[in-house]
């Protein structure tokens, strides 16, 4: 499943890097609002679910090679966050759903966390 396909399944809108979202494959998922936790525990290809919307989320996603970022509860990236995401080719999705619902939907679609490889 691509990031863009995942966005559709969670009623989300790709608000940064739509072209990359259409092509980037989701290999797993991770949900956390603590940046250091995401840096230490997410895996390359994960779709990260968070309520954080500041520019540092793009740096974390790039550092770990994440497939994209999902902002929950109707949050939208700050202008500098969206600009940095475009520069770094990191897709960002915004959805009205809360974290719990987003993770449940993604899990039902076969996206899992904590892969062994």
Q: What is the pLDDT of residues 100-113, one digit of tens each?
A: 999 999 999 999 99
Residue range of the domain that includes 17: 3-108
What global pTM score does this model have? 0.95
**Dist CA 36 CA 5 (whole Å):** 28
**What tokens appear for 87 in the block?**
């520069």
Q: Is residue 63 part of a domain?
A: yes
Q: What is the CATH number of the domain that holds 37?
A: 3.40.1390.20
**Dist CA 44 CA 24 (whole Å):** 12
The confidence score (pLDDT) of residue 114 equals 74
């Amino acid at each position: 499943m691509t990031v863009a396909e995942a966005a559709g399944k969670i009623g989300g809108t790709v608000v940064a890097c739509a072209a990359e979202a259409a092509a980037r494959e989701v290999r797993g998922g991770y949900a956390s609002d603590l940046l250091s936790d995401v840096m230490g525990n997410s895996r390359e290809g994960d779709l990260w679910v968070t309520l954080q919307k500041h520019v540092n989320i793009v740096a974390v996603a790039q550092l770990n090679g994440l497939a994209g970022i999902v902002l929950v509860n109707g949050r939208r990236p700050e202008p500098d966050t969206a600009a940095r995401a475009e520069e770094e080719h990191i897709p960002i999705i915004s959805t009205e759903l809360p974290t719990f619902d987003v993770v449940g939907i993604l899990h039902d679609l076969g996206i899992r966390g904590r892969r062994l490889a």
